[in-house]
Amino acid sequence: MALDQVEAISRDGVPDRRYFRTPATAPGPSGPQMLAHLRAIRRDPLGFLQEMTRAYGPVVQFPIPSPASYLVSDPVAVRRVLVDRSRSYDKATVQYRSLSLVTGEGLLTTSGDIWRRQRRMVQPAFHRASLEAVVGHAAVATEELLARWGDMSRGAVIDVDEAMMRVALETVAASLFGTDLSADADRLARATLEALDVVVWSAQVPIRLPAWTASQRTLRRATRELDEAVHRMVERRLAEAEPRADLLGLLVAALEGDAPIPLREVRDELVSFMVAGHETAASAMTWALWLLAGDAQAQQRAIDEVSEVLGDRRIQVDDLPRLTYLRAVIDEAMRLYPPVWLVTRRAMEPDVLGGREIPAESLVIMTPYLAQRDPSAWADPERFDPERFLGEQRGGAAHDAAYWPFGLGPRMCVGKDFAYLEATAVLASLLQRVRVGRVPGQPDPKAVPLVTLRPQDALPLVVTTR
């Protein structure tokens, strides 16, 4: 949510005159009402979006000077933006511009012809055959995690958020860059997270921060580290005799192909994939563990399935179709806690959404969080119930735009299969050895929507050898 835009209204306490030029084409809060909500927006942005939809309906207009900004939750309208008329909406939005301060011009944030060329270039790294190795990398990363934990027979409190971030990093680095967490992949991840922190934080501060502030210095340093780590990874790869078919291999080949891409683009893609593929998968796995820890029956069922399918051996890609309950747990966790909670687009031309006129240049804000907890689409939506995703009723949603954790249409997540392979392999490998439980007296973690939906601080769970 473009909080800095909202605050443009209140800067110096004087309403921004441009605000009055935005035509009102849909219901929504007035400027003063919005200002009164500012603290609520900060405290609980998701609750705020839910509240706005409840109060004003499926298309809400925010009193933002420029661009005209709409929260769209009507499923037909969401489909129209992301699928049916996707060519009329691009990613030139405040959200993606902020991300591109870190990612540069990579697949996640570009639009139009550049995006189409980039997607074609990286797609082979995400074909089923190329992805088989993900399962092995995820299993090894989890076994190493279990080894680091050591003897858990008496149970120990573990921050599973940190643990899943580590496992996701090792999996993504090994699968896409072919590194077994070399110092450079580790630095690439650290510097990416550091830079993202600054970007997310800056987006919540109403003024543009001067270059000398500590946070801007951190951003510059992190960006420099990113560049250096990528250059070293590329150089090492170029020195190898045999080409490899992972993402880095494809990009390095493109450096020297018929239509060579610049080194800058390799850097931007690697960072984009780190941003898109690391924290997202970690978030899905963390929430799945939290939910299993609070539902003994569901956890036992998942453990029984894992024991039956795998016994004691390491998971392989062929096992996945038989781990149906575990897959349903992952789907249900992403329903309640969609890692990518915010999806935005710019209208490139005028349109009509949910019966409301949307002027060209408008910002359209959508979130799977609202759709996936919508009581008109889901029975008892707040309840954790993996059964919804089993058998005939798979999904149980009233329509396909009621469940879209990976997005919809041509810009849908290129890493969707990767994410399922990874999450299933990690959770299965964990449940083979341990059980998770909530820490007695522990309050529910607050889900904070930053780049992804993450628990506010750590997420401690009691982990015990089975």
Q: What residues line the site for ligand HEM (CB under 6 A)?
A: 107-108, 119, 172, 272-273, 276-277, 280-281, 284, 334, 339-340, 343, 405-407, 411, 413-415, 418-419
Alpha-carbon distances of 191 from 215, 263, 360, 415, rounded to whole Å: 13, 19, 36, 22
CB of 125 to ligand HEM, least distance (A): 9
Asked if 75 and 243 count as a contact pair (C-beta separation under 8 A), the reply is no
CB of 415 to ligand HEM, least distance (A): 2
CB of 61 to ligand HEM, least distance (A): 21
Residue nearest to ligand HEM (CB): 415
CB of 122 to ligand HEM, least distance (A): 7
Tally of CB atoms within 10 A around 374: 18
Nearer to ligand HEM, 9 or 334 (CB): 334
DSSP symbols for 249-272: HHHHHHHTSSSPPPHHHHHHHHHH
CA-only gyration radius of the chain, Å: 22
Nearer to ligand HEM, 22 or 69 (CB): 69
Alpha-carbon distances of 39 from 47, 95, 103, 428, 454, rounded to whole Å: 12, 20, 30, 41, 20
Alpha-carbon distances of 22 from 13, 100, 205, 351, rounded to whole Å: 19, 27, 23, 16
Nearer to ligand HEM, 43 or 116 (CB): 116
Count CA within 13 A, CB hemisphere, residue 211.
2
DSSP symbols for 115-148: HHHHHHHHGGGGSHHHHHHHHHHHHHHHHHHHHH
Please tell me what DSSP assigns to residue 408. S
Rounded Cα distance between 357 and 83, Å, is 19
Nearer to ligand HEM, 34 or 89 (CB): 89
For residue 228, with 0-12 CB atoms within 10 Å meaning exposed, 13-18 middle and 19 or more buried, which class applies? Answer: middle
Nearer to ligand HEM, 120 or 148 (CB): 120
CB of 110 to ligand HEM, least distance (A): 8
CB of 226 to ligand HEM, least distance (A): 17
Nearer to ligand HEM, 9 or 145 (CB): 145
Nearer to ligand HEM, 237 or 335 (CB): 335
CB of 405 to ligand HEM, least distance (A): 5
Q: Tell me, what amino acid is at 63? A: P
Nearer to ligand HEM, 266 or 343 (CB): 343
459: region left, alpha or beta (phi > 0 left; psi from -120 to 50 alpha): beta
Nearer to ligand HEM, 39 or 399 (CB): 399
Nearer to ligand HEM, 52 or 81 (CB): 81
Task: Report the b/e string of 294-305 with b at 16+ CB within 10 A.
Answer: bbeebbebbbeb
Alpha-carbon distances of 139 from 2, 186, 304, 327, 379, rounded to whole Å: 39, 19, 18, 16, 35
CB of 389 to ligand HEM, least distance (A): 15
CB of 401 to ligand HEM, least distance (A): 13
CB of 278 to ligand HEM, least distance (A): 8
- Which token pair is 14? 């004087």
The secondary element (H helix, E strand) that includes residue 437 is: strand 434-438
Tally of CB atoms within 10 A around 190: 15
Q: Is the Cα torsion angle 258, 263, 265, 271 positive or negative in sign?
A: positive
CB of 418 to ligand HEM, least distance (A): 4
Nearer to ligand HEM, 25 or 406 (CB): 406
Alpha-carbon distances of 87 from 24, 293, 445, rounded to whole Å: 25, 43, 39
The total number of residues written for the chain in this structure: 466
